[in-house]
Amino acid sequence: MNRFFDILRNLLFPPKCACCRTLIPVVEEKYGGGLCLCRECRGLWNRAKEENCPTCLCPSHTCLCTEDKGSLKNMKIPKLLTYNPNVNNTQNKMIFSLKKVNDKRIPEFIASELSVSMGRYFKDNFILPDECVYTFVPRSRRAKGEFGFDQGQRLSREVARICEGKFEALFVRLGGREQKRLDSDMRARNISRSLRLKRNAEEKIKGRKIVVIDDLVTTGATLDGAVKLLKRAKAAEVYVACVARTGENKR
């Protein structure tokens, strides 16, 4: 029945590519809805994942580079893309769409892709994906108010579903400023002041393996703040994964 409605919806409202916004031609086997990228952008996306990380020179989707920040120091961070805010490429457009376009296909697609990078890391390290609790760092209240959704929440919920793990919203953001407007030191201070665990979150964290999913890692200050709180609440293990890491012009 769902399939019928999907077909009907796609005929009435043909899906637009999340990257270039052109209409995606309706092809028989793609009637199932959920189609996110046109064929051309899908090719560009695949190439973007293969672009070398400027730090370790691995293809971005296999890179495990971390940030030189307190709690992140010895962690590996599976990811998908290297992001440069000054280049209007596929990476840039998709991160923009993920953050600013209220379209569930985008987090669904990116989560399915990110799960592959994470799955590889999990397998190599004997981590069972379905034993983990998946969470996110909420976006600032102001950004949530402006866009009406939280891309990190959608992303981590979807990754949890794919990995057959549990999704939990563990953090709250109390005021604070938008990280992107601040330099590295100010980001760390801002996050330690504004990021808190939710009430009753501690019992959901203690002894559990927690995975924090983030969209974009710029300086690592936000993730560092989140990981610290989880460790303080006695998580058994903390893992992180992100869609993209800023490769150039790191502030």
**CB-nearer residue toward Zn ion: 77 or 213:** 77
**CB-nearer residue toward Zn ion: 55 or 125:** 55
d(CA 109, CA 89): 18
**CB-nearer residue toward Zn ion: 17 or 211:** 17
CB of 125 to Zn ion, least distance (A): 17
**CB-nearer residue toward Zn ion: 19 or 133:** 19
CB of 245 to Zn ion, least distance (A): 8
**CB-nearer residue toward Zn ion: 22 or 184:** 22
**CB-nearer residue toward Zn ion: 20 or 186:** 20
- Report DSSP letters for the chain, one per residue: -HHHHHHHHHHHSPPBPTTT-PBPP--GGGTTS---S-HHHHHHHHHHHHSBPTTT-SBGGG-----SSGGGTT-----SEEE-TTS-SHHHHHHHHHHH---THHHHHHHHHHHHHHHHHHHHTT--GGGEEEEEPPPPHHHHHHHSS-HHHHHHHHHHHHHT-EE---EEE-S---GGGS-HHHHHHHHHHHEEEPTTHHHHHBT-EEEEEEEEESSSHHHHHHHHHHHHTTBSEEEEEEEEEE-SS--
CA 127 vs CA 80, 130, 135, 211, 239: distances in Å:
19, 9, 17, 11, 10
CB of 17 to Zn ion, least distance (A): 3
CB of 2 to Zn ion, least distance (A): 25
**CB-nearer residue toward Zn ion: 65 or 159:** 65
CB of 63 to Zn ion, least distance (A): 3
CB of 164 to Zn ion, least distance (A): 28
Instruction: Give contact residues for Zn ion (rule: CB under 5 A).
Output: 17, 19-20, 38, 41, 53, 55-56, 63, 65
Strand bridging mode 81-83 / 195-197: unpaired
CB of 123 to Zn ion, least distance (A): 19
